[in-house]
Amino acid sequence: MSCLYCTQPLSNIKGIRVGNNVLLQSVGKNVFRAANVHSGQQLQCKVFSISRYLRSVAVYHQLPVHPNLSHFSDSVIEGVMVYVFFGQSYGNMHTYVRTCKGLDEGEASQLFYQMVSTVAHCHSNDVVLRDLKLRKFVFKNQERTHLTLSNFEDAYIIEKGDDCVYGRHDCHFYISPEGLQTEVKHSGKAADVWSLGVMLYTILVGHYPFRDLESNILFCKIQRCDFILPEFLSPKAKCLIQNIFRVDPSERLTAPEILDHPWLSFHDSQKVWRTISYQDDDQIVPQFCC
């Protein structure tokens, strides 16, 4: 059997052998391109500490199967680390949006629908995700039409009727206003919805809604909900963004309510195209972070 990226048999590839798989190339922090030594199947491997792995496994067991959730095919424990193998992916939404500098509303609505559906599924099964961002959604086909949530590293199983969490989002661009108060409990579901709003805006516009090189200024913009809605967005898209970006978490749409919004209810028939030129890199999603 030969590797899809190599002409030599897998048994001859120089790499790290982990169980029945071999790590071929690093593609990110603790993430590797890998392959099964017997079948040649292309895989992705993520390396976790045992404690982090056990938290993720608990979430996996909490959630019923969903078409937009990634499930691992194999895991190998070596020392204090766990090597978890997933099916091959074809890039993530962060890179895709950065490359395209924003998507037209027809394509955006179809992809965003899958993202919201995933979050709604998690919320209905007592899981909040806490570190939602574009990079966590990966494409499972070459056509870039099918998304899956790649991991649950920061997810949290909540008690029935109580979704309160502590802590701040890892990526500053996605922090909700209430999430800036690190010592105060806040709704994990509402914070996830805020992150969905950041993703929606970024997908459509090509840059984050709240931006600044200085963290303090960035946080002030988030607290004031200070962002601009471009004129080229459709009225329904503007309406949805405005109903997600509410400073008061109780006034935000929930994930199931977003799925019922008119902009997504007719996502298959929407064909709204943008014709806008970008003059500089400040107008696109940055390479760093998130």
The C-alpha atoms of residue 94 and residue 137 are separated, in whole angstroms, by: 8
* pLDDT tier, 4 (very low <50, low <70, confident <90, very high otherwise): very low
* pLDDT tier, 191 (very low <50, low <70, confident <90, very high otherwise): very high
Nearest CA to 47 out of 61, 28, 62, 63 is that of 28
Q: Are 170 and 131 in contact (CB under 8 A)?
A: yes
The C-alpha atoms of residue 120 and residue 114 are separated, in whole angstroms, by: 10
Catalytic residue set: 131
Q: Is residue 1 part of a domain?
A: no
CATH of the domain at 26: 3.30.200.20
Residue-wise pLDDT for 93-116, tens only, equals 999 999 999 999 999 999 999 999
Which run of H or E residues covers position 258?
Answer: helix 255-259
* pLDDT tier, 190 (very low <50, low <70, confident <90, very high otherwise): very high
152 and 246, same structural domain? yes
* pLDDT tier, 289 (very low <50, low <70, confident <90, very high otherwise): low
pLDDT of residue 3: 38
pLDDT of residue 188: 92
- Domain region containing 275: 93-283
Q: Note the pTM of the prediction, 2 decimals.
A: 0.84
Nearest CA to 255 out of 271, 244, 247 is that of 244
169 and 45, same structural domain? no
Residue-wise pLDDT for 64-96, tens only, equals 989 999 878 888 998 889 999 988 889 999 999
130 and 257, same structural domain? yes
Among 87, 114, 140, the domain-final residue is: 87
Q: Is residue 13 part of a domain?
A: no
Q: Please state the domain count of the chain.
A: 2
Among 62, 87, 112, the domain-final residue is: 87
CATH of the domain at 198: 1.10.510.10
Residue-wise pLDDT for 147-163, tens only, equals 999 888 888 899 877 88
Residue-wise pLDDT for 207-233, tens only, equals 999 999 999 999 999 999 999 999 999
**pLDDT over 90 percentage in the chain:** 56
| pLDDT of 203 above 50 | yes
Q: Is residue 3 part of a domain?
A: no
Locate 227 and state its tokens.
């962002």
Residue-wise pLDDT for 233-274, tens only, equals 999 999 999 999 999 999 999 999 999 999 997 544 344 434
Among 87, 122, 140, the domain-final residue is: 87
Give me the long-range contacts of 22-31 (CB less than 8 A, separation at least 24): 23/83
129 and 43, same structural domain? no
Which residues have C-beta within 8 Å of that of residue 23, sequence separation ≥ 6? 15, 16, 32, 33, 34, 45, 83
